[in-house]
Amino acid sequence: MQTITPVILCGGSGTRLWPRSRAVKPKPFLPLVGDYTLFEETLRRASDRALFAAPVIVTGRAHLPHVEEQLSFAPDATVIVEPAAKNTAAAIALAALRLPADQVMLVCPSDHYIGRPTAFVEAAQTAARLARGGWLVAFGIAATAPETGFGYIRRGDAIGVDSAESGGFQVDRFVEKPDLERAMQFLAEGTYAWNGGIFAFRAGDFLKELGAHRPAILAAVTEAVAKGVAEGHRFHPDAAAFASTESDSIDYAVMEKTTRSAVVPADMAWSDIGNWHALHDARPQDDLGNTIVGRAELIDCREVMVETDGPRVSVIGLEGVIVVVDGDEILVTSTAGVQKVGKLHGAAHQ
């Protein structure tokens, strides 16, 4: 049986989960839901070696120590160390160029939460079948709310394989982050799904499409890999060559351009944990909708989230409030206020 190679992208740091997520310890490497970090859970979901090959992790030098500390679910992983951050098109090209052309890659962000891992594995297998038929497949995350922070994918005709339903659909179109009104229309229409940044394709198909639509990126990354240096499980692309690569996302560079894009529906309790409120929603809640991590006491509270790394937090008479304690920083915000966490001086100047 052919396996699927997970390609795990560990980039960026972000400020939306400040003060817990900081430059020194970014979001993928924190145990935000349950005992394992989001990165570890990403590896764990794809740890069945009957289905998945050893993963390829693409990350920067800053995150390398965290990555290498958290490989217990994938001790066989290889790590491509990006000399610079050049967005997802180049990062995925690095991995594709290190794999056989007919190997199916499953590109996964490392900082998302998936509540139903079996649904993920099922969708991955469906996507891999389509990828082996030459499709470039995006996961279409079942939309459960009119989110304005995500891109959407509208599905077109069902794709048949060998006169049977494949489980996938041609992509009618990719849609940028909509305003609330359009997001509500999308949700009502029922043919739109969230673009969660999870993709499957054969390495060769991706590179062929990248070459067709963004030949300069393919050329620069090819040179960076050709001049790169392997060091144990690590691979170091050539820094000078990679530095000249244009930054672009896989969405812009390839998925929205190719005529072979497909979408596989995935209903897997997904969350990008994009802010503290999303994390609250992903955690198990008590009868009053409260979630607590660390020492806390709540009186007359509803929908309150407390996360503390030490001091005891006592909350009285509040609804829809989030309290996060991390060392010398304390955040207290309304549910709506989580959108402005990045504007805080502490978050912006970490």
Q: Which is nearer to a second copy, 279 or 315 (CB)?
A: 315
Q: Which is nearer to a second copy, 122 or 319 (CB)?
A: 319
Q: How far apart are CA 52 and CA 50, in angstroms?
A: 6
The position carrying tokens 């800053």 is 62
Of 154, 123, 59, the residue nearest 267 (C-alpha):
123
Residues forming beta bridges with residue 161, ordered by sequence position: 164
Q: Closest approach of Cβ 85 to a second copy, in Å? A: 27
Q: Which is nearer to a second copy, 3 or 334 (CB)?
A: 334
Residues forming beta bridges with residue 307, ordered by sequence position: 293, 324
Q: Closest approach of Cβ 324 to a second copy, in Å? A: 9
User: For helices 38-45 and 117-132, what crossing angle results, to 10°?
Assistant: 60
Q: At 295, is the secondary structure helix, strand, or coil?
A: coil
Of 3, 59, 1, the residue nearest 202 (C-alpha):
3
Q: How far apart are CA 166 and CA 155, in angstroms?
A: 14
Q: Closest approach of Cβ 285 to a second copy, in Å? A: 18
Q: Which is nearer to a second copy, 61 or 340 (CB)?
A: 340
Q: Which is nearer to a second copy, 164 or 336 (CB)?
A: 336
Q: How far apart are CA 333 and CA 76, in angstroms?
A: 42
What does the binding site for a second copy look like in residue numbers (CB under 8 A)? 19, 297, 299-300, 308, 310-318, 321, 323, 325, 327-334, 336-338, 340-341, 343-347
Q: Are 290 and 302 in contact (CB under 8 A)?
A: yes
Q: Are 321 and 313 in contact (CB under 8 A)?
A: no
Q: Which is nearer to a second copy, 123 or 298 (CB)?
A: 298
Q: Closest approach of Cβ 304 to a second copy, in Å? A: 9
User: For helices 215-226 and 87-97, what crossing angle results, to 10°?
Assistant: 50
Those residues with Cβ within 8 angstroms of residue 288's Cβ, 6 or more apart along the chain or in another chain: 301, 302, 303
Q: Closest approach of Cβ 317 to a second copy, in Å? A: 3
Q: Closest approach of Cβ 297 to a second copy, in Å? A: 5
Q: Which is nearer to a second copy, 48 or 300 (CB)?
A: 300
Q: Closest approach of Cβ 330 to a second copy, in Å? A: 5
Length of the chain: 350
The backbone torsions φ and ψ at residue 3, rounded to the nearest 5 degrees and listed phi first, read: -100, 170
Q: Closest approach of Cβ 325 to a second copy, in Å? A: 6
Q: Which is nearer to a second copy, 7 or 347 (CB)?
A: 347
